[in-house]
Amino acid sequence: MTAYRLSSGGLLDRSKVLSFTFDGRPLRGFAGDTLASALLANDQLLVGRSFKYHRPRGIVSAGPSEPNALMTLGSGARSDPNTKATVAELYAGLTAKSQNRWPSLGFDVGAVNGLLSPFLGAGFYYKTFMWPRQLWEMLYEPVIRRAAGLGRAVLERDPESYEKSWAFCDLLIVGGGPAGLMAALTAGRAGLRVILADEDFRLGGSLLGETETIDGSPAPAFAERVVAELLSLDNVTLLPRTTVFGWYDDNVFGAVERVQKHVAEPSATLPTERVWRIAAKRALLATGAEERPLVFGGNDCPGVMMASAIGTYAQRYGVSAGKSVAIFTSGSSGYRTARGLVARGVTVSTIVDSRPEATEAAPDGVRVIRSGAIVDTKGRKRLSGIVIERSGFEELIACDALGMSGGWSPVIHLACQRGARPVWSEDLKAFSAPDVGGGLRVVGSANGVYTLSGCLRDGAEKATTIAVELGFNAAEASLPVIENEAEPSFAALWYVPGAKSKAFVDFQNDVHARDLGLALREGFGHVEHAKRYTTSGMATDQGKLSNVNAVGILAGMRGVSPAEVGTTTFRPFYTPVSFGALAGTSRDGHATPTRKSPLHEWARKNGATFVDSGLWFRSAWFPRAGEKTWRESVDREVLNVRANVGLCDVATLGKIEVFGADAAEFLNRLYCNPMLKLPVGKARYGLMLREDGFVFDDGTVSRLAEDQFFVTTTTAMAGAVMSHMDYCAQVLWPDLKVRFCSVSDQWAQMAIAGPKARDVLQQLIDEDISEAVFPFLAARSMVLRGGINARLFRISFSGELAFELAVPAGYGEAVAEQIMEAGRAHGICAYGVEALNVLRLEKGHLTHAEFDGRVTPDDAGLGRMVSAQKPDFIGKHLSARYGLTAADRMQLVGLKPVDRDKDMRAGAHLLKEGMKPSTLNDQGWVSSAGYSPVLGHHIALAFLKSGRERYGEKIVVWDKLRDHEMIAEVCDPAFVDPENKKLKA
């Protein structure tokens, strides 16, 4: 009872012995092996435990449809769960571990579930663990998840690197089997840019396991010749180890290339995987066909495999699946496989044919049982025999491997990923690809062409058609001569009656035929319902082997054609793709750009603590020796600005330069306040609304010349404002003569604020910037001493006498240092956004904490800014509507704690004293709060119902999140200098 390596043959390099381990056991294979073929060669047929019943499971297939042989490859951070051993290329040093077993693969405690299986039918969990509901998340789900399961993802950081790339071609060929290779050769010779992708590490597809001879040489040699010629063509790109996983709009395909998944020590200069997006003018789906398993009693016993897989292991990998092989078939393919096996020296004892009137001849010495059915298998961890029933009589036949051949299903997933449904073909007894137009054609056995010569011809012809469509001259392809060709035929056999034990439909999800019956009886007979109810066709293999049988069984039970049952929906991905590959290089710092202000270095040298602000790093505060908390630094900075002077980086503000004869008119329509007559050399605070009447953004508008404006936005809304302006200029008012561009990154802008700001700044500027010459809201270009072109604005966010100075970005650091130097005698300090926030809070200036999208200008106390005279501006009509002008709207107020020691936080709600917290009783909310070092207590800005009429009132600040409650007094939001004396000093 052993699988073994044949003494010769196979596409292996037997001189290259590769050592690997499986569950810690050291094993050996050859170069050219997959993990599965190497395991088989070592007679390691038992590879996993099933999902629900923990039944022993063996290798079933030799390709990507494998439901059972899922393993964790590698170790530590580099481990990959749920890898199919049947497609994993063997390499020296590979470590593989089986999954879903405890304590070991041979002895699994969970197998007790098998004894309980009468109670574990489809929907069992749904029905049993319904109540109490709270226990679902706490208890049932974790326990069930632990018991049932696939591999585990590691929590360590993934050390692999990944990348993404675009590719463009005239023709993408998916699949490098006979049809794909022939198509590539034809198109390549005609000069098309061809990409041929195949998931295998060796191109050739079914040719690698064929027994036919092509042009007198073995099929694999033919494949090798074609590949060699393709490699010599510059216009052809071969992508082995590449799975095309999705077909998207405009004939764009997604593919993942396993660049170095097959090496123990990956090169640091290459990605581990690469995701391709391939824009193809035309594509050919040459994905072949999948042999169907048969659903009979005990069909999940290790040793029961796809017949074609047994053939492939023998032909391509030189491995016999057993000492004595039996074949169970519903068509001619079983005989063909048997012939191939016998030719390779594998003992085939019996062919069980379900059809009564089969005519195929078996190889010499192989017994044929026609009209037979397998009803049970013997053996637990390894097949030891099959129970055959014919005409009511049972017979036990000893064998250690059984090949099932239930006919063929074209692999058509990609063609069905954009909404078209597969079409049931009575001729093929399978679902075939829908006609999805000329962009993607199906070719070869994926197209239901099952002879080798037919596949080669189909590939050549379709490639020629495409070449002609794209304007290339394609020569008539000379097709090779095939000998010993078989014409396959089969009878559809969805379920083998008389099963004496569980007949599995979906091996991976442990769904057996009776589960589908239960689903139908309980009203889940629709194919999409049955899938969810039984889990048939779910998980990593997505029912590649099982789906058609499940549909056939449902059809049989419902007494309809499979055409009527239909299939579940095909979606990307064809096979699982790692998150790492999909993320590509977009991780950590590469996931989003990092924006650093041109004054970043200046801030860093001055000891700034930085804070993430969107994509920006902003200097938050500048701690000095002896300051233990951030508050100490911030309080000092605030007091120093109020008493002396400070310098703050405000370069992150959005900056837009607007030009043109209609620039003033354009801005006049963008802002709710008048801009048309803004004098040259003046700045103005501006408020933009959304069309629905709420505040969109605020900033300053400075007129530098008759037809030139400089506009600032908030840091957060810079992008949104720019897009809004694009829309308005292009779509709403395309006839305005206006052009604008973002200059956010071009100017280093800094605020110099405090009573001594002018004294400091004047040292850098020859021109007079006194109050008389350069008053509040003055704005113009000037030249700094030393010749740097600058722009100076007399604007203030802090409420102090303040300037904003903008210099070309590259000069920012030098100018900032010069200002610090000039200010040293005046006690200048650098201050960050935290201090800036306290300063504006004390002054009652607003940010997006206040403009949260629900606030009108009047709510914010800026109602008088909204122009009544302007004929139109964005938001004009709806800002005047009922509801936005109601007297009981929430209005901006200040809050002072009655008990001066108490603090307030943003997000707290306001209540009348003695009222219960409820939505109905809600009086408003705190939008910003902080400690005012000037006043010596906390202050807050808040929105309060009819707030402006309620100054002096005591209100409850209710903060349930922090379980905090206090009484505050409502006041004017301008806590400091409400008369603007400092501002205009």
Min CB(498)–other proteins separation in Å: 47
Residue 657, strand partner residues: 710, 741
How many residues bind to other proteins according to rule CB under 8 A?
Answer: 26
Nearer residue to other proteins within complex by CB, 184 or 738: 738
Nearer residue to other proteins within complex by CB, 788 or 878: 878
Count of alpha carbons within 13 Å of 829, Cβ hemisphere only? Answer: 23
How far is residue 114 CA from its own chain's centroid? 37
Min CB(249)–other proteins separation in Å: 4
Of 484, 561, 723, 885, which lies in the binding site for other proteins, with binding defined by CB under 8 A?
723
Min CB(755)–other proteins separation in Å: 43
Q: Does 743 bind other proteins (CB under 8 A)?
A: no
Min CB(727)–other proteins separation in Å: 6
Choose the binding region for other proteins from 266-274, 510-518, 724-732, 805-813 (rule: CB under 8 A).
724-732
Q: Does 727 bind other proteins (CB under 8 A)?
A: yes
Q: Does 745 bind other proteins (CB under 8 A)?
A: no
Count of alpha carbons within 13 Å of 132, Cβ hemisphere only? Answer: 4
Of 155, 228, 731, 773, which lies in the binding site for other proteins, with binding defined by CB under 8 A?
731
Nearer residue to other proteins within complex by CB, 167 or 906: 167
Residue among 925, 920, 923 at smallest CA distance from 904: 925
Min CB(882)–other proteins separation in Å: 8
Q: Does 871 bind other proteins (CB under 8 A)?
A: yes
| 3-state helix vs strand vs coil in the chain, percent to 5 | 25, 30, 45
Of 84, 876, 889, 982, which lies in the binding site for other proteins, with binding defined by CB under 8 A?
876
- In this structure, how many other beta carbons lie within 10 angstroms of the beta carbon of residue 326? 31
Helix (H, G, I), strand (E, B) or coil at 98: strand
Contact 460, 477 (CB under 8 A): yes
Q: Does 726 bind other proteins (CB under 8 A)?
A: yes
Nearer residue to other proteins within complex by CB, 277 or 945: 277
Choose the binding region for other proteins from 404-412, 504-512, 725-733, 950-958 (rule: CB under 8 A).
725-733
Of 137, 427, 487, 735, which lies in the binding site for other proteins, with binding defined by CB under 8 A?
735
Distance between CA 691 and CA 695 in Å, rounded? Answer: 9
Question: Buried b vs exposed e over 697-732: b needs ≥16 C-beta within 10 Å?
Answer: bbbbbbbbeebbbbbbbbbbbbeebbebbeebbeee
Q: Does 768 bind other proteins (CB under 8 A)?
A: no
For 836-871, the DSSP string reads: HHHHHHHHT---TTT-SSS--TTTTT-GGGS-SS-S
Q: Does 258 bind other proteins (CB under 8 A)?
A: no
Choose the binding region for other proteins from 64-72, 679-687, 874-882, 890-898 (rule: CB under 8 A).
874-882
Contact 413, 447 (CB under 8 A): no
Of 691, 707, 903, 953, which lies in the binding site for other proteins, with binding defined by CB under 8 A?
691
Of 485, 564, 872, 972, which lies in the binding site for other proteins, with binding defined by CB under 8 A?
872
Q: Does 655 bind other proteins (CB under 8 A)?
A: no
How far is residue 695 CA from its own chain's centroid? 34
> Which contiguous run of DSSP H or E holds residue 185?
helix 178-190
Nearer residue to other proteins within complex by CB, 607 or 719: 719
Tell me the longest C-alpha to C-alpha distance in the chain: 116
Distance between CA 794 and CA 366 in Å, rounded? Answer: 100
**Site residues for other proteins, window 273-312 (CB under 8 A)?**
277, 279
Of 103, 734, 914, 936, which lies in the binding site for other proteins, with binding defined by CB under 8 A?
734
Nearer residue to other proteins within complex by CB, 9 or 719: 719
Distance between CA 634 and CA 642 in Å, rounded? Answer: 12
Distance between CA 210 and CA 304 in Å, rounded? Answer: 21
Residue among 617, 730, 665 at smallest CA distance from 870: 665
Give the residue ranges of DSSP H helices in 864-937. 876-879
Q: Does 881 bind other proteins (CB under 8 A)?
A: yes
Nearer residue to other proteins within complex by CB, 670 or 769: 670
Choose the binding region for other proteins from 51-59, 532-540, 721-729, 793-801 (rule: CB under 8 A).
721-729
Residue among 174, 244, 245 at smallest CA distance from 573: 245
Of 395, 601, 665, 692, which lies in the binding site for other proteins, with binding defined by CB under 8 A?
692
Of 241, 418, 636, 642, which lies in the binding site for other proteins, with binding defined by CB under 8 A?
418
Distance between CA 401 and CA 303 in Å, rounded? Answer: 5
Which DSSP letter does residue 5 get?
E
Of 367, 380, 590, 877, which lies in the binding site for other proteins, with binding defined by CB under 8 A?
877
Distances (CA, A) of 97 to 23, 48, 71, 321: 5, 9, 6, 21
Per-residue contact flags (x/-) with other proteins for residues 147 to 166, judged by CB under 8 A: -------------------x
Q: Does 730 bind other proteins (CB under 8 A)?
A: yes
Min CB(516)–other proteins separation in Å: 33
Of 878, 906, 967, 974, which lies in the binding site for other proteins, with binding defined by CB under 8 A?
878
Of 131, 155, 232, 249, which lies in the binding site for other proteins, with binding defined by CB under 8 A?
249
Contact 41, 5 (CB under 8 A): yes
Min CB(872)–other proteins separation in Å: 4
Positive or negative, the Cα torsion across 893, 898, 901, 907?
negative
Residues lying near other proteins in the complex (CB under 8 A) are found at: 166, 248-250, 252, 277, 279, 418-419, 691-692, 723, 726-727, 730-732, 734-735, 871-873, 876-878, 881
